[in-house]
Structure 1
Amino acid sequence: MNNQVPYQFDTEFLSEAIFHQLNQGDLFFSKLMQSLLKSVREQLHMEVAFVSEFTEGRRVFKFIDSAQKDAIISVGNSDPLDESYCQRIVDGSLPELIPDACQNQEACKLDVTQVLPVGAHVSVPLKFSDGEVYGTFCAFSRLPSFTLNARDLALMRVFASIAAAALEENRGEQAVFNRRKNYYESLMVNNHFVYYMQPIVNINNESVVGHELLLRIKGDDSQSPQFFLTEIDMLGLSTALNISLFSQVLYILKAVPSNQFLTWNLAPSVILDHEFFQCFYGQDLSQLVIEITEHAVIENYVSLNDRLNILRQSGAKVAIDDAGAGYASLRHILQLKPDFIKLDHSLIHNIHREPELQALAESLVSFAEKSNAKLIAEGVEVEEEHQALQLLSFELGQGFYFARPAPDFMEMTA
Structure 2
Amino acid sequence: MGPSKGGLEPIGAWASAGGDVIQDALVAIRNHLGMEVAYFSEFIGGRTVFRRVDAPGLEHLIKVGDSHALDDVYCNHILAGRLPELIADTSLVVLAREMPITAAVPIGSHISIAIRLLDGTPFGMFCCLSPRPIPSLNERDLATMRVFAGLAARQVNAGLQQRRDAQQIHGRITAVIAAEEYDIVLQPIFDLQSRTVISCEALCRFRALPYRSPDKWFKDATDAGLGCELELAVLRTTLAVFPLLPCSISLSVNASPELVISGRLSDLIPAQYADRTIIEITEHASVSSYAELHAQLAPLKQLGVKVAVDDAGAGYSGLQHIVQLGPDIIKMDMSLTRAIDTDPARRALASAMVFYAREMGSRIVAEGIETTEELSTLKLLGADRGQGYLLGKPGNIAALGAACTATHRAAA
State the TM-score bracket (shorter-chain normalisation): 0.7 to 0.9
> What is aligned with 1:365?
354
Mapped to 2, the partners of 1:121 and 1:164 lie a distance apart of 20
Moved more, 78-87 or 340-349: 78-87
1:397: how far off?
Answer: 0.5
> What is aligned with 2:113?
124
Moved more, 120-129 or 151-160: 120-129
- Paired residue for 1:252, among 224, 241, 246? 241
Residues 187 and 201 of structure 2 are in contact (CA less than 8 Å); yes or no, is this contact kept in structure 1?
yes
> What is aligned with 1:286?
275
- Paired residue for 1:47, among 36, 49, 74? 36
1:397 matched to 2:390:
no
Please report the TM-score for the alignment, with normalisation by the length of structure 2: 0.85
Mapped to 2, the partners of 1:147 and 1:313 lie a distance apart of 78
- Paired residue for 1:181, among 167, 170, 174? 170
1:140 matched to 2:129:
yes
> What is aligned with 1:9?
none
1:96: how far off?
Answer: 1.5
Distance 1:369 1:347, change over 3 A: same
Distance 1:223 1:409, change over 3 A: same
Structure 2: gaps spanning 5 or more residues: 1-12, 403-412
> What is aligned with 1:354?
343
SS of corresponding position for 1:188: helix
Distance 1:221 1:385, change over 3 A: farther
Residues 286 and 316 of structure 2 are in contact (CA less than 8 Å); yes or no, is this contact kept in structure 1?
no
1:63 matched to 2:63:
no
Question: Number of aligned pairs?
Answer: 389
> What is aligned with 1:152?
141
Residues 374 and 395 of structure 1 are in contact (CA less than 8 Å); yes or no, is this contact kept in structure 2?
yes
The one-letter code sitting in structure 2 at the alignment partner of 1:351 is I
Mapped to 1, the partners of 2:62 and 2:389 lie a distance apart of 62
Moved more, 305-314 or 338-347: 305-314
Mapped to 2, the partners of 1:286 and 1:114 lie a distance apart of 77
SS of corresponding position for 2:240: helix
Residues 193 and 218 of structure 1 are in contact (CA less than 8 Å); yes or no, is this contact kept in structure 2?
yes
1:412 matched to 2:400:
yes
Mapped to 2, the partners of 1:92 and 1:139 lie a distance apart of 18
> What is aligned with 1:96?
85
1:192: how far off?
Answer: 0.7
Residues 102 and 113 of structure 1 are in contact (CA less than 8 Å); yes or no, is this contact kept in structure 2?
no
Fraction of identical pairs, as percent: 34
Distance 1:282 1:392, change over 3 A: closer
1:202: how far off?
Answer: 0.9
SS of corresponding position for 1:286: helix
Residues 29 and 170 of structure 1 are in contact (CA less than 8 Å); yes or no, is this contact kept in structure 2?
no
Residues 40 and 156 of structure 1 are in contact (CA less than 8 Å); yes or no, is this contact kept in structure 2?
yes
Cα-to-partner distance string for 1:165-188 (whole Å, 9 max, x where unaligned): 232233223222222221121111
> What is aligned with 2:22?
33
Mapped to 1, the partners of 2:205 and 2:66 lie a distance apart of 44
Mapped to 2, the partners of 1:246 and 1:195 lie a distance apart of 9
Mapped to 2, the partners of 1:373 and 1:306 lie a distance apart of 20
Mapped to 2, the partners of 1:279 and 1:147 lie a distance apart of 71
The one-letter code sitting in structure 1 at the alignment partner of 2:383 is F
Residues 137 and 160 of structure 1 are in contact (CA less than 8 Å); yes or no, is this contact kept in structure 2?
yes
Please report the TM-score for the alignment, with normalisation by the length of structure 1: 0.85
Q: CA RMSD in A?
A: 2.6
The one-letter code sitting in structure 1 at the alignment partner of 2:392 is A
Residues 192 and 386 of structure 2 are in contact (CA less than 8 Å); yes or no, is this contact kept in structure 1?
yes
Residues 232 and 265 of structure 2 are in contact (CA less than 8 Å); yes or no, is this contact kept in structure 1?
no
